[in-house]
Amino acid sequence: MTFVLSLICAPDTAELTPALLERVNHGLNAAGARARPLVWLDPERAAEIAFDGDDIAVLEELRRRLVDVPVDANVLRAEGRRKKLLLSDMDATAIIGETLDELSTYTPHKAEIDNLTRQSVNGLMSFTETLVARMALMRGLSEDALAKTWSTVQPTPGMAVAIATMRAHGAYTALVSGGFTYFTSRVRDLIGFHCDIANDLEIVDGKLTGRVPPPIVDPAGKVAALQRLTKERGVALPGTLAIGDGSNDIPMLQQAGLGIAFCGKPKVKQAIPVWLDHAGPTGLLYLQGYKRSEFAGED
């Protein structure tokens, strides 16, 4: 079977220099790979090398050799890399930061809420348990706090280009979050996703009730969203891509044809072999073999 070694630099902070590529070639040789010529996707920033050999041995060898440089090294099957359905997490993936942590600023319980978020994304407590607990601590919060929180939301640099490019090449894109539709609907429009799937906020007389109406979009709910969209769009699972950072994303990432740990928490990176730690969201395009000249939505 033929595989592809993908090499993607951090934007504006590193280059795939001749010296670095020499290290890569030594690593491929050490892992016993039969490599083909390098193909540039973005000169000096993103490249790929097709090879035959042991994919796991190559990945381990290259990550060991490149641990000191801001370069994402990944190994993927050469066949079927371009996907027709993309699902993305919202918090700390499509956008910078966590919306509930920002919202907690307007409560007297910020430290407790932020701690529950950390427990959840690192897989130390169940997602549903922590979500219910966090929202209970926000009971009575004014609806105005939602608008104030929204005003601070910033898209992750490169995400709009990634989504625009996927759409331009015929893919369907969905924002799937364990957060709330108040935010996901706005992020959907801001970044350009086709649709958003998230939880509802219960608001009575302009204040949060602290309850989360079922069904809750938990890890199983994200998998259900993936399965439903594959049927609706007529896309088989191998033709899907999912990206996320937290432990509640793991089942969705494992089910997708290509699951990407985006600046993933340790538990996520243990479960998911494809990582984007440095490259930003446009890395998901390079992983699929897109060249920079094929990107859409850039100024």
pLDDT in tens, 129-138: 999 999 999 9
In this prediction, residue 77 has a pLDDT band, given cuts at 50, 70 and 90, of very high
Which has the closest alpha carbon to 165: 281, 277, 43? 281
* 73 vs 287: CA distance, rounded Å: 10
Q: Any idea which residue has 């906020």 for tokens? A: 201
Neighbours of 104 (CB within 10 A): 24
The pLDDT of residue 299: 52
In this prediction, residue 275 has a pLDDT band, given cuts at 50, 70 and 90, of very high
Alpha-helical runs (H) found in the chain = 18-30, 55-65, 99-103, 110-121, 127-136, 144-150, 159-168, 181-191, 219-233, 250-255, 266-271, 283-287
What SS3 state is found at 197? Answer: strand
The pLDDT of residue 136: 94
Q: Is the pLDDT of residue 78 over 60?
A: yes
Question: How is residue 185 written in tokens?
Answer: 């609907």
Q: What is the pLDDT of residues 103-129, one digit of tens each?
A: 999 999 999 999 998 888 888 889 999
- CB-based contact 229:236 (threshold 8 Å): no
- What value does the mean pLDDT take over residues 240-258? 97
In the chain, % of residues over pLDDT 70: 100
Sign of the alpha-carbon dihedral angle for 81, 160, 123, 267:
positive
Tell me the DSSP string of 110-143.
HHHHHHHHHHHHTTSS-HHHHHHHHHHTTTT-BT
The 8-class DSSP code of residue 20 comes to H
Q: Is the pLDDT of residue 201 over 80?
A: yes
Q: Is the pLDDT of residue 11 over 90?
A: no
State the catalytic residues. 89, 91
* CA 213 distance to own-chain centroid: 26
What SS3 state is found at 196? Answer: strand
- Asked which of 105-119, 154-168, 215-229 is least confident by mean pLDDT, the reply is 105-119
Q: What pTM does this model have? A: 0.95
The pLDDT of residue 76: 98
List domains and CATH numbers for the chain.
1-79 (3.30.70.260), 83-299 (3.40.50.1000)
Q: What is the pLDDT of residues 27-64, one digit of tens each?
A: 999 999 999 999 999 999 999 999 999 999 999 999 99
Neighbours of 231 (CB within 10 A): 8
- CB-based contact 250:96 (threshold 8 Å): no
